[in-house]
A = this chain, B = another copy of it.
């Protein structure tokens, strides 16, 4: 077999180089590449060895442009920090890549350029998953308008797009009832419902239980989602003497990190947990277990995986009606809200 020529142009070998080397047309090379059409055995072999010799890999760009599809999908979230987003993204990546799609991630970091970033992403994927607290409804519709399949995550749906959520209300009610049964009567809600649809639903569920128990509108303290935020706002509450025997006896935090920060602040302020104050979080991250924090377990990986499957169905046209999935969550009671059945770490 004669030695193939190297391409006489810079950069990696192209389909034309292979065609020349194998003495066939690019159409034929494309055929053996795709494997769909029939190609004569001997021709195929010649092409194959030319491919091997030139170390040819078809250009994704060329292919995608011709096929009019990226074979990729994206996921947009506000921030990857904390176990919650990381786990959801992992669950998403795992399924998406199994389904043959590359995954692009985009964290908006609360930047104002979020719209532009999401629009740019839209030009690189066949569909995308968007977390609730990243961009406005208008942007979601702008993205979905040209027919790009979109799945909302942790966000009640918008228009006809799919959505995947974890159950919030009912479990929040159950959590609150548990605290009420324990004699807690003066709760504070720590977190900002307007910052996240999930949190808003949790607050609703909690408020429902409190209302049913004849407890009026509880105090609400706005806060971000970090340990530092928890330390800060609860530190301030403690300093103001609003916690303990003379004040509030329960801290219902919007997520675990906030609750963990609350725990630190309380410890520093000398407030006994759960004696003086009960603390609850949400998400059941790994640290919650070791901190003895009562929380609510979300199926984080499964949330991402479910979104990936929903998107896939749309992408392959298996389904045209919007679907709204709600995954179950589970109350996990630990020592931070009283001495109940303890769970060994």
Contacts and interface: CB of A to CB of B under 8 A. Distances in A.
Contacts of A12: 146
Contacts of A85: 86
Given A60-B124, A123-B57, A86 B80 contact: yes
Interface in A90-115: 90, 93-94, 97, 102-107, 109
A110 to B, nearest CB: 12
Contacts of A121: 102
A215 interface: no
Contact of A267 (B83, B120, B123, B344): B344
A307 to B, nearest CB: 15
Contacts of A62: 65
A89 interface: yes
B345 A291 contact: yes
Interface string A301-312: 000000000000
Contacts of A326: none
B72 A80 contact: no
A106 B97 contact: yes
A93 B80 contact: yes
B107 A104 contact: no
A72 B68 CA distance: 19
A81 B286 CA distance: 12
A89 B85 CA distance: 12
A242 to B, nearest CB: 22
A320 interface: no
A220 interface: no
A289 interface: yes
A223 to B, nearest CB: 18
Contact of A105 (B55, B60, B103): B103
Nearest to A304: B80
A120 B87 contact: no
B83 A107 contact: no
Interface string A251-278: 0000000001001100110000000000
Which of A60, A64, A291: most chain B Cβ within 10 A?
Answer: A60
Contacts of A80: 86-87, 89-90, 93
